[in-house]
């Protein structure tokens, strides 16, 4: 057991700030690192010390593992928190950190290695009776052999990069005709994006939901699950809205998935915080997809419903403490939603729309949490993930959490760039979402950019309609031919607008 007194956060943006906040609460000193693009960033300002690493591109700054370790030695740092992305799932980095006598706040390098590769992850869990999506067990290179396997599995299939992540390196193939061209694209994409061209084939689950289980394990072999997060609202296989609990799981399936997730964690002797992702079909059969061996972007929804601060638990575990709770101590309190506020244009294929935050005002009030790393006047750099903030709400039940989120989205004022806020509001009000009857294809099935075209909010439209109706009533009293025709003119523009919704 080693008390951690000082932590370097090997990350930037909202997650660096979020980690710093928890560390301050447990009286741990913090060291930030930053690139030239992040000189004015909040994580730099909020940390006790901050060190400039280099120019903006990540490979000259946030990915410089050796330099980061040197900074730790110079500043007497006890432990490194990698956040998500960047070096968080880099087994070699974790190994070097450990060899330098510094604690890596995360699992062992071996766990990262096994789970970092989707094929080795599937092979590792076979002994634990975990349901897997039908597919190939090994990397596949020969096109004819692959095509035969695809026939056996049955179309549609998914070609996936074994080293893939962040929704990249995935190709859906609907029929044998497209197989060869798609496979070639998948291999070259995997080679250029991940430096590893290994691909495998999986049955494409139609009507899939993405539901994942948060787990926590200590170095004494105790592992618990912290229930599920529903992450089915996605664009480009990447999440935009998450919630906990899921609107569709029964307590029985929740428990089964929780136990399966614990099995996956045991399969790689896991300790620390981790997430086991499952794909769930329309009959609520679930299949293991992959394990993310780090803190997840959407971890706040789990914190809201369990009351557990995952970053503080990560630190306690890294110090060698036993988990302070058992499975039976954990329960779900209310409902939590998260929307990811990306600097992207939902009217233009969700392409990044970076620039200056001309105005920026966060929502506040009961049950609202904003994890962000920006202030008014700051630039969103082009070098990194274009996420500005995570907006999280918590309430007694799902309906109230949705109402609260819509209120918070309306209160959020961001100008200067396009964001995903308006799109998220559209989703939250959609019948498919409120009923819980949705899957990962929500955008394909229910969204076209024209639904966001009106700049007026619905409240504004309602107010305008009510006002127009009032004028009409007053005018009616005068009951002359002339005023009647004026009414028609006054009301019609609002009526027309109303019809668009």
Question: Which of positions 425-464 make contact with ligand ADP (CB under 6 A)?
Answer: 440
Minimum distance from residue 296 beta carbon to ligand ADP (Å): 4
In the block, residue with structure tokens 């970092």: 116
Nearer to Mg ion by C-beta: 372 or 439? 439
Nearer to ligand ADP by C-beta: 132 or 456? 132
Residue 263 binding partner per list Mg ion, ligand ADP, none, with a CB distance cut-off of 5 to 8 Å that depends on partner kind: none
Torsion sign over Cα 350, 356, 358, 359: positive
Q: Are strands 238-244 and 335-342 parallel, antiparallel or unpaired?
A: antiparallel
Judged by CB under 6 A, does residue 134 bind ligand ADP? no
DSSP tally for the chain: helices H, then strands E: 17, 20
Q: Between the CA of residue 231 and those of 107, 173, 208, 299, what are the distances in Å? A: 24, 23, 11, 11
Minimum distance from residue 453 beta carbon to ligand ADP (Å): 27
Residue with the shortest CB distance to Mg ion: 277
CA–CA separation, 300 vs 371, rounded Å?
A: 9
- Pattern of binders to ligand ADP over 287-326, x per CB under 6 A? --xx-x---xxx----------------------------
Judged by CB under 6 A, does residue 339 bind ligand ADP? no
Catalytic option among 18, 294, 398, 404: 294
Residue with the shortest CB distance to ligand ADP: 165
CA–CA separation, 141 vs 157, rounded Å?
A: 16
Residue 205 binding partner per list Mg ion, ligand ADP, none, with a CB distance cut-off of 5 to 8 Å that depends on partner kind: ligand ADP
Minimum distance from residue 211 beta carbon to Mg ion (Å): 12
Q: Which residues of 101-111 are buried (b: 16+ CB within 10 A; e: fewer)?
A: ebbbbbbbbeb
Nearer to Mg ion by C-beta: 218 or 277? 277
Contact yes or no for 105/318 (Cβ under 8 A)? yes
Collapsed DSSP state (helix, strand, coil) of residue 379:
strand
Residue 204 binding partner per list Mg ion, ligand ADP, none, with a CB distance cut-off of 5 to 8 Å that depends on partner kind: ligand ADP
Nearer to ligand ADP by C-beta: 313 or 439? 439
Q: Can you say how many angstroms the Cα of residue 66 is from the centroid of all Cα atoms in its chain?
A: 28
Question: Which of positions 180-239 make contact with ligand ADP (CB under 6 A)?
Answer: 202-205, 208, 210, 234, 237-239
The token pair that represents 137 in the structure block:
């067990």
In the block, residue with structure tokens 């692959």: 146
Question: Which of positions 241-280 make contact with Mg ion (CB under 5 A)?
Answer: 277
- Pattern of binders to ligand ADP over 372-391, x per CB under 6 A? -------------x------
Judged by CB under 6 A, does residue 352 bind ligand ADP? no
In the block, residue with structure tokens 């062992």: 108
Q: How many Cβ atoms from other residues are within 10 Å of residue 157's Cβ? A: 27
Name 227's Cβ contacts closer than 8 Å, sequence gap at least 6.
213, 214, 244, 245, 254, 258, 302, 305, 306, 330, 332
Known catalytic membership, residue 495 = no
Q: What is the DSSP letter of 478?
A: H
Judged by CB under 6 A, does residue 136 bind ligand ADP? no
Number of residues interacting with Mg ion: please give it, by CB under 5 A.
1
Stretch that binds ligand ADP, among 56-64, 159-167, 324-332, 462-470 (CB under 6 A): 159-167
CA–CA separation, 408 vs 497, rounded Å?
A: 24
Question: Which of positions 273-312 make contact with Mg ion (CB under 5 A)?
Answer: 277
Residue 210 binding partner per list Mg ion, ligand ADP, none, with a CB distance cut-off of 5 to 8 Å that depends on partner kind: ligand ADP
As a three-state string, the secondary structure of 164-222 is CCCCCCEEEECCHHHHHHHHHHHHHHHHHHHCCCCEEEEECCCCCEEEEEEEEECCCCC
Q: What does the binding site for Mg ion look like in residue numbers (CB under 5 A)?
A: 277
List, by residue number, the catalytic residues. Answer: 294
> Footprint of ligand ADP on this chain (CB under 6 A)?
84-85, 133, 158, 164-167, 170, 202-205, 208, 210, 234, 237-239, 277, 279, 289-290, 292, 296-298, 385, 440
């Amino acid at each position: 057991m080693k008390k951690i007194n000082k932590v370097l956060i090997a990350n930037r943006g909202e997650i660096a700030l979020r980690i710093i906040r928890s560390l301050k609460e447990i009286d741990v000193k913090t060291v930030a690192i930053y690139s030239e693009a992040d000189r004015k960033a909040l994580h730099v300002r909020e940390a006790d010390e901050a060190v400039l690493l280099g120019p903006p591109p990540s490979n000259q700054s946030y990915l410089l593992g050796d330099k980061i370790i040197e900074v730790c030695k110079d500043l007497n740092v006890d432990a490194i928190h990698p956040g998500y992305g960047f070096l968080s799932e880099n087994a070699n980095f974790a190994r070097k950190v450990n060899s330098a006598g510094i604690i890596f706040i995360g699992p062992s390098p071996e766990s990262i290695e096994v789970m970092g590769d989707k094929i080795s992850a599937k092979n590792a869990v076979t002994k634990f009776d975990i349901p897997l999506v039908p597919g190939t067990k090994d990397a596949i290179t020969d096109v004819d052999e692959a095509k035969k396997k695809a026939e056996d599995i049955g179309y549609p299939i998914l070609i996936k990069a074994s080293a893939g992540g962040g929704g990249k390196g995935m190709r859906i193939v609907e029929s044998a005709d497209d197989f060869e061209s798609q496979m070639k694209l998948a291999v070259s994409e995997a080679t250029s994006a991940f430096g590893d061209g290994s691909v495998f084939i999986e049955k494409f689950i139609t009507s899939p939901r993405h539901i994942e289980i948060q787990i926590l394990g200590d170095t004494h072999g105790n592992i618990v699950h912290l229930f599920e997060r529903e992450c089915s609202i996605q664009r480009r296989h990447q999440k935009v809205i998450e919630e906990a609990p899921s609107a569709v799981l029964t307590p029985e399936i929740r428990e089964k998935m929780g136990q399966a997730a614990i099995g996956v964690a045991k399969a790689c002797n896991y300790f620390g915080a981790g997430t086991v992702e499952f794909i769930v079909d329309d009959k609520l059969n679930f299949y293991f997809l992959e394990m993310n061996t780090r803190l997840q972007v959407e971890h706040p929804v789990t914190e809201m419903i369990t009351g557990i601060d995952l970053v503080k638990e990560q630190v306690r575990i890294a110090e060698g403490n036993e988990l302070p709770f058992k499975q039976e101590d954990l329960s779900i309190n209310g409902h939590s939603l998260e929307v990811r506020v990306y600097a992207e244009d939902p009217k233009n294929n969700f392409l990044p729309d970076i620039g200056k935050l001309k105005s920026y005002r966060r929502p506040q009030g009961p049950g609202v949490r904003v994890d962000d790393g920006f202030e008014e006047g700051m630039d969103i750099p082009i070098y990194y993930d274009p996420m500005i903030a995570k907006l999280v709400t918590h309430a007694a039940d799902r309906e109230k959490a949705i109402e609260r989120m819509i209120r918070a989205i309306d209160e959020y004022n961001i100008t200067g760039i396009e964001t995903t806020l308006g799109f998220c509001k559209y989703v939250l009000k959609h019948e498919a979402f409120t009923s819980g009857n949705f899957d990962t294809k929500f955008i394909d099935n229910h969204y076209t950019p024209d639904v966001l075209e009106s700049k007026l909010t619905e409240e504004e439209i309602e107010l305008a309609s009510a006002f127009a109706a009032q004028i009409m009533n007053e005018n009616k009293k005068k009951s002359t031919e002339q005023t009647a025709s004026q009414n028609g003119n006054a009301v019609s523009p609002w009526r027309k607008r109303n019809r668009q919704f």
